[in-house]
A and B are shown apart, each in its own frame.
Chain A
Amino acid sequence: MNKEAKISCKNIWKLYGEAPEKFLKNTNNNPTTEEIKKNNYIPAVRDASIDVNTGEILVIMGLSGSGKSTLLRCMSKLIEPTHGQVFFEGNDLLKASEKELIDIRRHKMGMVFQHFALLPHRTVLQNVAFPLEVQGQEIQKREERAKDVIKLVGLEGREKYYPRELSGGQQQRVGLARSLAVEPDVWFLDEPFSALDPLIRKEMQNEFLRLQSMLKKTIVFITHDFDEAIRLADRIAIMYEGLIVQVGTPEELITKPATDYVAEFTKDIPRSKLLNAESIMNEKDKKPYENTVNYSDKIEKIASKVLKSESIFSVVDDNKEVIGSVSKKELIKALFAEDKNE
């Protein structure tokens, strides 16, 4: 097992149907797609193995029905996997007793839900203090802590409001605050911004990045929106029909898609947002030109000035040393590369 891994999933299976454990055993825990279909099982997660490293943002993405939410719920044992192992800080979660599980959830895990899942009969303050309340913390202490977290997510002054009085974005801020109230090590977010308007979504993504820059949690984030995944992820895992098809950094997925499915997914992603000057530069040309660009600048940022001018640009690293060059030619090649492949 990876030492750094906070959560480690080994060969997780989740099948729906009659006596799925027996079926898995009969097929040596490795049934084929045909076998599954023939026996009328619905595969939610198939043989998923993945590590979540301490302090990283792992985004699991896929279309609806791809099993991403199920996999997330297996990680917190909200759903019992049919087969496989889940290690949380090295302990097998599936062997943990009910009491141990409650303890882990109370102190180490926080979760944010797509439709907020706020308790409608409680005020903002009571909602945020809820996880502390079930731990048995006394009222003054927990409300103090809740107030701090509410301040952190920017909802000061709304403590006495009821969820129905808040907008969707504000409600999800309450959701974020509630999940952070216990200072969890691991933060699960299940499509937290999917139910929000596009503008609000962007704002909340920024909010999320701001929080993470302060808190440095280990994060598993579910989304079906590839743009969102690229914006937030350290690593992305792409799921398709219950299988994890590829795990990698955003750049890796775009430049080296493992399957056609991944390629199809990443096709519409504007490369300009993802690739930086370094990844497209002409490495052989190390002449210092008059104009320079930083190696980490995204194409998006440099495109207009490179395309407008007829000259070549030097690519420099952080020490201002020239490591290559970029011109119109490289830019166009990078931006429209897929046309050439077809």
Chain B
Amino acid sequence: MNKIKTILRGKFFFIFGPFIFLWLLRYIIPNYTISSKTPHWAYIPPKSCLGGCGSIDGLIPFVDWTNALIQFLRKYEIFGLFTFRDFTRGIASYVDKFLDFTEAVLHKGFPGYDVGPLPWIFILTLTIILGFYLRGWRLALLGGACFSYLILFSKRGIWELSMKSLAAISVSAPLAALIGLCLGILAVKRKRFANFLWPMLNILQSLPHFSYLILVVIFVGIGTKAGVIATVIFAFPPMARLTILGLQNISQEIKEAGVMAGCTKWQMLFKVEIPAARSPIMLGVNQVIMQCLAMIVIAAFIGQPGLGHDLLIRLQGLRLGEAFEIGVAVVLIAITLDRYSQALALKEPERREGNFVKRNPYLCATFFAIIICSILVFLFPFFNEYPKELTVSASVYLDNAIKSFTRSLFVPLGIFRDWMLIYFLMPLKAVFQSMPWTGVILFVGAIGWKLGKMRLALTVMLFVFFIASSGYWVRAMITVYMVFASLIICALIGIPLGIWASKKESRTKIVLNICDIFQTFPSFIYLLPAIMLFQISDVSAIFAIVIYSSIPMVRYTVFGLRNVPQQIIEASITSGCTDRQLLWKVKMPLAFPEIILGANQTLMFALFMVMIAGFIGTVDLSQEIFRALSFSDGGKGLIIGLCVAFIGLTADRLLVEWSSQMKSKLGFKV
């Protein structure tokens, strides 16, 4: 009797009890299977006719309601003057004005004044000087190499495409940074606004891109300006977050020094707080730029021309060699912009004394470079427009190389793919598809409750209920299965790699550097090798997800292991631990909370990538989103987007809470 009581009180029962119970229901209820026409309500949420039995099979017609709201915003005239859509389109037309300018400078020229676009020699030279200024010759070399590639490999117009993309980024990035900065400042100054902003940022950042692309199409239209606006919506949240973080982390003393000097509120903000937080704020700018780059392919879905658009077309046509060439261009631009903006964030002001030239060497260098370049452009047409005859393209060779590579690996890869499908993916999918929604709700609720937070339990249960009642439960569970499968593989790869890397300083450095480079790749790039190796299947989707989302797993494992206090390690060694004991008895338990955070990040990355993998044909929520995109079904897109966001937020809430509780038990600062 006592034994049963302890079992009932035990951790295991609370977490798995409700789940197992409802799983057992399948043997009690006759028509339990997914395939049966009328599954029991406890398994699949029933269809209700609250919304008039429309096209959506939901318990609650969220999609219809959202569409009604969108219709209202499109049609209803505020004060009888203009609709909400007129308003958004009005804003978009301002964006268009900025775009006209950057596009003219970078690739269209000013035909009215008979002035061409900025010649390549200017862009190349100025990039190199900027690199020198920001960090030194290495950075200058990187920038120079990047733009040289764009010029040299421009047989298929990579230079023009890059300039188109850069023109869009040079409007969207500053705009997103500015919006993020202002919202961040407002949130720090007004507590109530912060309470509103945080959850908004959470949802915005976990919403898949495609779901608001549809809304952008409805309210703005298509083309470059729509792309820019979608990019801004996607890119401003990290800026707002980092601004808030930066402003909150200013040391109390510095703020007091400002107050004691007699600063007014505005002086405080502009002379003390923003400068003191400039590093995190500039890291926010770095994040914004990276997000903008990640969006260049996604914005191509709503008709933004540029590198992303051409990459997409070539991927669709399976012209992998050409896609590869463009992919390299995207990656090079991404790495260059990343390193430049990072250098800018970390740059400390330098002391220079002497005459004007000595104090401002880079200003003078820029000045002379402009004069020399102008003369060159004036004298030689070569410097104005790089001659097409001198450009090269490796796409034919690449195509051949890829073909022979995949041909030689066709059989082993095929075997591997089939083995994965039959013995790992399909059984796992079956497990997830037979999970009753009621059981899942109880499951997440039980974990939340076990973590000791009633509010947390209710929140996550509400999230799951939303997904279940929206009518996309079956699809959502396929998404969950894909994410979960990827998470397992990521852990199997990432944790050992992290352990290996954390053993030596030199390894850590190399591995973290590789992680850095991989993380700068725009996500669509990962589809390239996936299609090359596994054609179109669940395996290729999971392959793409795994390479993309192993990065945080490795990073957090290394971080956790390397952050074990040196004293504890020394104490263990002097107690006579072997290397293995040290790892498993000391380091791993202490690094575990960090590894859980890594798993959480991996999950977020995977969820994000699943949505993109929908492009190569998976049957989960992402496919529905793509469908909604092609029908411009804003309500459906948004609701599915929220389903995805809530999957992410459910996992995020629980894992982060778990990790921070473990950390505080271990006595680490949270």
Contacts and interface: CB of A to CB of B under 8 A. Distances in A.
Interface of A: 73, 76, 78, 102-103, 105-107, 109-111, 113-123, 130-131, 133-135, 160-162, 164-165, 178-179, 188
B253 A106 contact: no
B276 A120 contact: yes
Interface stretch (B214-222, B258-266, B407-415, B529-537): B258-266
Contact of B271 (A114, A118, A134): A134
B400 interface: no
Contact of A103 (B256, B262, B267): B262
Contacts of B276: 119-121
Contact of A117 (B251, B275, B353): B251
A78 B253 CA distance: 11
A121 B349 contact: yes
Nearest to A108: B262
Given A117-B253, A134-B271, A160 B351 contact: yes
Interface of B is mostly: helix
Given A76-B260, A121-B276, A178-B261, 6 more contacts: A73-B256, A105-B261, A113-B256, A162-B349, A162-B351, A178-B257
B272 interface: yes
Given A119-B275, A134-B261, A111 B256 contact: yes
B264 A102 contact: yes
A106 B275 CA distance: 21
B26 interface: no
9 contacts: A78-B259, A105-B261, A109-B260, A113-B256, A117-B254, A121-B278, A130-B261, A161-B351, A178-B261
Nearest to B271: A134
Nearest to B257: A117
A102 B266 CA distance: 13
Contacts, number: 73
B348 interface: yes
Given A117-B256, A119-B254, A165 B351 contact: yes
B262 A105 contact: yes
Q: Nearest 6 A-B pairs (CB), nearest first?
A: A106-B262, A117-B253, A131-B261, A117-B257, A105-B262, A111-B260
Interface of B: 251, 253-254, 256-257, 259-264, 267, 271-272, 275-276, 278, 348-349, 351, 353
A111 B255 CA distance: 12
Contacts of A188: 260
A229 B259 CA distance: 27
Contacts of A122: 275
A73 B257 CA distance: 12
B262 A134 contact: yes
Nearest to A135: B262
A319 to B, nearest CB: 47
A111 B262 CA distance: 11
A253 to B, nearest CB: 29
B257 A111 contact: yes
Contacts of A160: 351, 353
Contacts of B349: 121, 123, 162
B280 to A, nearest CB: 13
Contacts of A105: 259-262
Contacts of A109: 260
Nearest to B275: A121
B354 to A, nearest CB: 11
Contacts of B253: 113-117
Contact of B348 (A106, A133, A164): A164
A45 to B, nearest CB: 17
Given A78-B256, A161-B351, A131 B262 contact: yes
Contacts of B278: 121
Contacts of A103: 262
Q: Which of A113, A117, A133, A188 has the most CB of B within 10 A?
A: A117
A113 B257 contact: yes
A121 B257 CA distance: 14
A206 to B, nearest CB: 24
B85 to A, nearest CB: 44
A119 B251 CA distance: 11
A50 B137 CA distance: 61
Contacts of B257: 111, 113, 117-119, 178
A161 B351 CA distance: 6
Nearest to A124: B351
A316 B271 CA distance: 59
Contacts of A114: 253
Nearest to A115: B253
B120 to A, nearest CB: 35
Contacts of B254: 117, 119
Nearest to B262: A106
B273 to A, nearest CB: 10
Contacts of A116: 253
Q: Which of B251, B257, B259 has the most CB of A within 10 A?
A: B257
Contacts of A107: 262
A119 B353 CA distance: 20
Contacts of A162: 348-349, 351
Contact of A102 (B256, B262, B275): B262
A326 B85 CA distance: 97
B450 to A, nearest CB: 27
A123 B351 contact: yes
Contact of A78 (B260, B264, B348): B260
Contacts of A133: 271
A104 to B, nearest CB: 8
A327 B271 CA distance: 64
A167 to B, nearest CB: 16
Nearest to B272: A119
A184 to B, nearest CB: 9
Q: Which of B262, B267, B276, B348 has the most CB of A within 10 A?
A: B262
A188 B261 CA distance: 12
Contact of A106 (B251, B261, B272, B351): B261
Nearest to B278: A121
Contacts of A110: 260
A102 B264 CA distance: 7
Contacts of B267: 134
Nearest to A165: B351
A42 to B, nearest CB: 17
Contacts of B348: 120, 162, 164
B574 to A, nearest CB: 31
A161 B256 CA distance: 23
B260 A134 contact: no
A120 B348 CA distance: 9
Contacts of B262: 102-103, 105-107, 131, 134-135
Contacts of B353: 160
A114 B253 CA distance: 8
A23 B263 CA distance: 33
B70 to A, nearest CB: 44
Contacts of B259: 78, 105
A221 B259 CA distance: 19
Contacts of A111: 256-257, 260
Nearest to B252: A117
Nearest to B254: A117
B350 to A, nearest CB: 8
A120 B278 CA distance: 10
A109 B353 CA distance: 33
A130 B270 CA distance: 13
Contacts of A102: 262-264
Contacts of A131: 261-262
Contacts of B260: 76, 78, 105, 109-111, 179, 188
